[in-house]
Structure 1
């Protein structure tokens, strides 16, 4: 009784002092996340109980939902209660609330989902209901014997939530769950110890592409829809992360000439391959196009004219035993570089590639380029 009275006195003193202003400032510093509960009316035990009842309703009331996967479903409760999410990018942001019907839309390997960024994590527990739809534990009294307890009765009833938890744990997978419009999360098994694990749910950021390496969630589909198994016959090939449609600039090998030696090395590569034509035709044109693109990007048109003259000179120095196709390819490459060095021809376009000259000697062997 002394503790109760002391606590009531503390609440009364806090409410009648300037301490509430300090608490409000703390909430403002926390971006408005939080709430202050005060006693309504005179100080008494009933009003204090009412205040704590409001706190329990807001912060400690479980979130009840129905977990569905096809024709299977289970009533579950989620701890802690998921908070509404506000998307700041919207002009008039409206809080997004999680649906009370959580539908599983697919399953993904743990290795593919990796460790994604999430908004929050929640414990998912099954609820055993009787035929009338009421919680089995609601009408049980404390004097029932152990074998008739709510937990034992619930344990004897098949439950999809328990089946899902065990399956995810054994198969090493996560379930992708629909939380709302363009909003997904994942269900997975998390071990507290070697003998105990729980079914958990993590919420992703709202949006059509919450995890960049998976792409858009609306475009994910079952393996059966694919022409070939993306995981390979031995499950050693993963389709994730998805390859971007266009190669990122920072992922490419960019030609940089900081020192004269770097430029000299690239020109020597072209000359070495030119002297091994036609065996090195593909490599020759690959190096030639790489230098051509870099020269156009830097506006170094004189380089193209210089390399063109060098190829003409190599053509005149070919021995009598050289393959006839070598002279044709060198003359063709030199002419293409001269056109590109003018800067006005269509051959000076950056995306244009110099392709091998089709001759009676080369046949169709260079079409692969």
Structure 2
């Protein structure tokens, strides 16, 4: 299997995506197309087995840059080397020569990045493999409707379909405009055209082969293992890098089923394993929902995630990938160190993280720290210790740091600002040591609390 990327140099003509004149190749639509192509190449190189990747540039001729792309950075350099702004406009010639100049095989996939601004004559073109187009233009109003129709016809025929509403999901064009991000186009093309990574999900004695939507391209977590369960509220505010619906492997894309298979499926002779696997995942989701639990999972790569219930997913499960351990904020504990402790009502055992410097709020087991008066009670406790300083100074700093880090979790910097205001106003009526502690603490309440360290007592006062 191979992927053939073609970038049309007509994209150097004229404008940036926001409609303003471009002053360099990098700022032009050609630069955008090159970055999209490189993003797709980076994703393709993570497939297993790694496909053959070829790179072409099309202008007055089809120029083969390489048939063995080493990296996305190398591809970017080859695409932009020697290209001039306002250089060439030969969009029509591109289509007439793809089938002969690119020499694709039935196992290849062609991805063309062009602007669809002009084309003279009919397209006499047939690709023996899937051919899809990414249209990089300012707005759809700036495109030639005749060429759009031609590109749709080429794309549909290459996928074995006729142009029509029933099949347009399999051959549609991808549009990159001023209000679309490059990353979203890369995600959309990769999800439709690349072989989606397949993972083995292990939960106790259950093992299911799954995919996710959108796929997880950043890593290769081929094995996903549930390492424990905990109450949903204990992880409700944990930072998440990305969310992914859990899908059974062969349920990712619904494709027309031949008549014989459809009849067998209706009689129960076919597709039984798929329905059985889906049923098991749904049972897991229902059990987790009933118990109010989420599963902490570890990927084969060493990263961690959270498996939770989600009604919009067909399996009922949502996989949330956490940032890499080195990128996690300071308040997130080490998931490599786990233990089990009794739950408050002694009816459950709850998986928690040992050696967590900052425990959750004393009301965090309720549904919401905000909606259950957790803020009011916690701030009241801090102020009571504050008024008694220098007595109970350790408890004051313990509670202050706990609430400070919990506020960071839910992104409520304004809570700390209000606390600082109350401390500043009350300290005027209190003793000198309280005022010194106030001056010591206030600057910390204005810092970036997601990366801050715990506030320590003033040593000179002891």
TM-score (norm 2): 0.40
TM-score under structure 1 normalisation? 0.48
